Structure 1
Amino acid sequence: MMRLRRFFASMVGRLFVILLLGMSVAAIGATMLASTKRQQEFERQNLTRIADRLQGFVNMLDGNPELRDRLLAVGGPAVRSLPAGARLGREDTALMEVLEDRAGPVAHATVHFTSFRSCIPKAQELWPPPPPQRRKPPHERDPAFIPPKCRAVQLPLSDGTMLALSLESPAIAHNGILAVDPLFLTLLVLAIAVLAYVVARMASAPLQRLASAAAELGDDLQREPLPVTGPLEVRRAAEAFNAMQKRLQRTLGERTQMLAAITHDLQTPVTRLRLRLENVGDEALRERLIGDLAAMQALIREGLELARSAESAEPRAALDLDSLLESIVEDAVEAGAEAQFAQGSGAVLMLRPLAMHRLFSNLVDNALSYGGTAQVRVEQGTDGVRVRVRDRGPGLAEDELETVFDPFVRLETSRSRATGGAGLGLTIARALAEKDGATLHLRNHPQGGLEAVVHWPAPPRPPGSRAG
């Protein structure tokens, strides 16, 4: 049910419903209109056949006065003398219009519907009615059956003799209205549904490609531009997207160059300041000034590193996460820190090696600096791969777990300023993670301490595939 809701909430689903309903209504309406026209033509041809029989019999009576009485006694095909006292019903204007276009006496005929008893020969009136158990249901209920009708025709012959005839039209079976045939409707709707789904997928494919490209652009600004193909509107959208990507690349490049230039130009005056501070006689003041100068240098370096982390064009390669994390932990242990690689997973992902080394080095250094220890573990499941870096520190308040990712944020309540830093470590770490398709968030571990979780979601499986 959830998958069905997501389908109808998508552009493909909405286009599919609109096309299915619109095309179905149009197709069924056109089919019913064609069936109505066909039914009218069928009835017109039936009236033409009835008029032909009547005209043939009347012409034979009009041309043979001496045989007229005998012919009337015998009757013709579905035509005979009208019994005396027959009650006349409404006029059959449709048949009268057909007869008006004919030559001969029938052009002046008056036609009324009458009781079907008027069309039954006298000999048949003596026959007993069929037993009740043999009677069939009335055919009038069958839409594919035109019941028999009886008409009273009154017309003058060429010599002025008035004729009163009964004209029988037999029951006729014909094809029903095709539009209400359940099988036909089912096949029609199925065909329209397939066509509507294909058209909806084709119409939404450019939008899906644009959405995917926009999502990839957030991870990799140096991605390949969109191909400019397809209809005019799609080409214009692709060209606008590519132009936006170039402007973003140029803007980010200019920012990085500006920060690099500022960093480079500040190196000389900062170095001179440091040399001059060495000549300060007050040792306590000298140490404080040198500390402030070192903090300024660290701030400049980390600001430049933040800009470079978003612009890096390092290629991806197959990376063994366990080996990378083990090497980072070993380096920390060799430096005298309390670090542990608790669990591996054997996961190999397409990542940027240098960026990932910087990401996890930041997280491990953060755990060691503020929590005293670092425990690293890798987990791989059906929902993807997770790397957890946990410390044994005091943790953070719930409303601070996201705030610490903002640039230049340092929380005095849980982080000691004596540890140094400019408040950009977690900002850089999140930027590096998101550029490689991962998410980074913090949580307070149930057993104490703060835990940083880097998660790569599993790629979607194609429809019909089974999990291994």
Structure 2
Amino acid sequence: MKRLRLFLSSMAGRLFVILLLGMSVAAMGATLVATAKRQQDLDRQILVRLADRLQGYVNLLDNNPELRERLLQAGGPNVRLAPEEVRVGTADAALTAVLAQRSGPVSSAQVHAANFRACVPRLPDIVPRTDEQMQRRRMRQRDPAFAPPGCRLVELRLGDGTPLRLVMETPAVARDSAQAFDPLFLSLLGLAIAVLAYVVARMASAPLQRLASAAAQLGQDLQRDPLPVSGPLEVRRAAEAFNAMQKRLQRHLGERTQMLAAITHDLQTPVTRLRLRLENVADEALRERLIADLAAMQALIREGLELARSSESAEKPAPLDLDSLLESIVEDAAESGAEVEFEQGCGEVLLLRPLAMHRLFSNLVDNAVQYGHSARVSAQSHGGTVVVRIRDRGPGLAPDELEAVFDPFLRLETSRSRETGGAGLGLTIARALAEKDGARLWLENHPEGGLVAVVEWSQPPRAGGNRG
């Protein structure tokens, strides 16, 4: 049910419903109109056949005066002499108009509806009807798909002026107007319309889905391939506008990175001169503080450049054994004297950027060691999701600080020491690296104390195997 609601809330779902309803109403309307037209043609054919029979019989009477009495007694095909008492109904304008177009005496005939008993002898006088037969007849008369036989009174004058009153029986007709509401017919029609509406809706929404997917990938990789310019005019225009926007973003980011690189390069010489001159400061305490501030300035410039480069990196993904990468990072940290342990592996081989992932997890492990005095690294794979957790033994963070620490240049550690406070860009760079490889990075407090950095791939780009 949830998937159905999600589908109906999408562009494809709404187009599907609109097309399904619109095409169903149009198809049913066209079917009813076609059925009515077919029935009208059938009624017209019946009238023409009745007129042919009547004209043939009347011409026979008109051309053979000596046989007229015998012919009237014998009657014609569904035509006979009218009895003296006939209950006359409304005028039959349709048959009268058809007869008016004929030649001979029938052209002046007047036709009225008559009681059916006037056309045939009363059946009870010949064969008595049972109650069951009467019930079947009443049900057949109420059936909308069955038109019962009728009777018409025709009044005309023969060529010699003799008035003539005839009754003409109209045969029963099985009408097919009810077929438009046949359950099997409606089911097949609805199925065909539903399939067609679904295909058309998917085709119409496919360009929007491609554009949405390209926009999501653009947030992870600004250097992705341009969107193909194909399809209808509106789709091509949207793709061209999207590609133009991507080029502008690439140019803007490139200019920013070049600017930071130029600043970093141009500052190296004066910073080096400042450091040499600071060595000549006589006051040792002042000299140490000035040198520390200068080192912090250099680190800030370097990390700012790394942040810019993290969004512009052109490194290509390659099969990466995630457990081997984490183990090597843990071993490097342990060799430097840190309390670091690799607790669990996931056995996954993913398509990731090796250097970027090394920077990401090294940064998180360094943060855990620096602020939590230890790091416990584990990786898990379950339900198609790969999760890496790095836990420390520190005091943790307040709930409102778990997201704020990812803001650039925000340092919750209030000291100005480079060894304790940092530049405030480490987690910002780490999140940028993670998002570019399709992962999410967040922090959470562990129930038993300490902070946990979580990197999760909900749809990991697997390389087709694992360490097994």
TM bin, normalised by shorter chain, reads over 0.9
Equivalent position of 2:390 in the other structure: 389
Equivalent position of 2:465 in the other structure: none
Distance 1:414 1:185, change over 3 A: farther
How far apart, CA to CA, are the structure 1 residues paired with 2:456 and 2:296? 32
How far apart, CA to CA, are the structure 1 residues paired with 2:461 and 2:347? 20
Q: Does 1:26 align with 2:26?
A: yes
Distance 1:248 1:197, change over 3 A: same
Equivalent position of 1:292 in the other structure: 293
Shift of 1:420: 3.4
Structure 2 letter corresponding to 1:221:
L
Structure 2 letter corresponding to 1:350:
L
Structure 1 letter corresponding to 2:130:
P
* Alignment check: 8 A CA contact 1:395 1:414 kept: no
Shift of 1:173: 2.2
* Alignment check: 8 A CA contact 2:438 2:457 kept: yes
Shift of 1:161: 1.2
How far apart, CA to CA, are the structure 2 residues paired with 1:148 and 1:293? 112
Equivalent position of 1:244 in the other structure: 245
Question: Which TM-score applies when normalising by structure 2?
Answer: 0.95
Structure 2 letter corresponding to 1:13:
G
How far apart, CA to CA, are the structure 2 residues paired with 1:90 and 1:38? 25
Shift of 1:32: 0.9
Shift of 1:137: 4.3
Equivalent position of 1:171 in the other structure: 172
Distance 1:217 1:133, change over 3 A: same
Equivalent position of 1:102 in the other structure: 102
How far apart, CA to CA, are the structure 1 residues paired with 2:88 and 2:446? 99
Equivalent position of 2:323 in the other structure: 322
- Partner of 2:389, secondary structure, is strand
Structure 2 letter corresponding to 1:119:
C
Equivalent position of 2:89 in the other structure: 89
Equivalent position of 1:41 in the other structure: 41
Shift of 1:291: 1.0
Equivalent position of 1:126 in the other structure: 125
Distance 1:192 1:460, change over 3 A: farther
* Alignment check: 8 A CA contact 2:278 2:290 kept: yes
Deviations for 1:196-232, whole angstroms, at most 9, x for unmatched residues? 1111111111111111111111111111111222222
- Partner of 1:126, secondary structure, is helix
Shift of 1:236: 1.8
How far apart, CA to CA, are the structure 2 residues paired with 1:89 and 1:283? 129
Structure 1 letter corresponding to 2:294:
L
Equivalent position of 2:50 in the other structure: 50
Equivalent position of 1:465 in the other structure: none
Deviations for 1:80-108, whole angstroms, at most 9, x for unmatched residues? 11111212111111111111111111111
Comparing 406-415 with 101-110, which one deviates more in the overlay?
406-415
Equivalent position of 1:408 in the other structure: 409
Question: Which TM-score applies when normalising by structure 1?
Answer: 0.95
Distance 1:392 1:231, change over 3 A: same
How far apart, CA to CA, are the structure 1 residues paired with 2:461 and 2:331? 35
Equivalent position of 1:65 in the other structure: 65
Q: Does 1:263 align with 2:240?
A: no
Equivalent position of 2:117 in the other structure: 117
Deviations for 1:214-260, whole angstroms, at most 9, x for unmatched residues? 11111111111112222222222222211111111111111101000
Structure 2 letter corresponding to 1:91:
A
Comparing 62-71 with 126-135, which one deviates more in the overlay?
126-135
- Partner of 2:127, secondary structure, is coil
Distance 1:412 1:329, change over 3 A: same
Distance 1:20 1:416, change over 3 A: farther
5 Å-filtered alignment, 1:206-245, equals 206-245=207-246
Structure 1 letter corresponding to 2:397:
L
Distance 1:460 1:258, change over 3 A: closer
- Partner of 1:41, secondary structure, is helix
Distance 1:415 1:290, change over 3 A: closer
Distance 1:97 1:416, change over 3 A: farther
Structure 1 letter corresponding to 2:221:
D
Comparing 143-152 with 430-439, which one deviates more in the overlay?
143-152
Q: Does 1:440 align with 2:434?
A: no
- Partner of 1:409, secondary structure, is coil
* Alignment check: 8 A CA contact 2:296 2:418 kept: no
* Alignment check: 8 A CA contact 1:82 1:152 kept: yes
Q: Does 1:77 align with 2:96?
A: no
Deviations for 1:433-465, whole angstroms, at most 9, x for unmatched residues? 00000000000011100100000113699xxxx
5 Å-filtered alignment, 1:134-153, equals 134-135=133-134, 136-138=136-138, 139-153=140-154
Structure 1 letter corresponding to 2:356:
A
Structure 2 letter corresponding to 1:126:
D
- Partner of 1:392, secondary structure, is coil
How far apart, CA to CA, are the structure 1 residues paired with 2:51 and 2:272? 118
Shift of 1:187: 1.0
How far apart, CA to CA, are the structure 2 residues paired with 1:137 and 1:111? 26
Unaligned residue ranges in structure 2 (runs of 5+): 463-468
Shift of 1:383: 4.1
Distance 1:35 1:414, change over 3 A: farther
Shift of 1:133: 2.8
* Alignment check: 8 A CA contact 2:413 2:421 kept: no
Comparing 5-14 with 310-319, which one deviates more in the overlay?
5-14
- Partner of 1:237, secondary structure, is helix
Shift of 1:400: 0.8
How far apart, CA to CA, are the structure 2 residues paired with 1:288 and 1:458? 49
Deviations for 1:44-96, whole angstroms, at most 9, x for unmatched residues? 11011111111111111111122212211111111111111212111111111
- Partner of 1:458, secondary structure, is coil
Comparing 443-452 with 108-117, which one deviates more in the overlay?
108-117
How far apart, CA to CA, are the structure 2 residues paired with 1:207 and 1:15? 13
Unaligned residue ranges in structure 1 (runs of 5+): 462-468
How far apart, CA to CA, are the structure 1 residues paired with 2:368 and 2:197? 56
How far apart, CA to CA, are the structure 2 residues paired with 1:87 and 1:451? 100
Comparing 252-261 with 107-116, which one deviates more in the overlay?
107-116
Equivalent position of 1:464 in the other structure: none
Taking only the aligned residue pairs, the percentage that are identical comes to 72
* Alignment check: 8 A CA contact 2:411 2:421 kept: no
Structure 2 letter corresponding to 1:245:
Q
How far apart, CA to CA, are the structure 1 residues paired with 2:373 and 2:295? 23
Structure 2 letter corresponding to 1:81:
L
Shift of 1:413: 7.0
How many residue pairs get aligned? The number is 460
Equivalent position of 1:305 in the other structure: 306
5 Å-filtered alignment, 1:344-355, equals 344-355=345-356
How far apart, CA to CA, are the structure 2 residues paired with 1:85 and 1:177? 37
Structure 2 letter corresponding to 1:10:
S
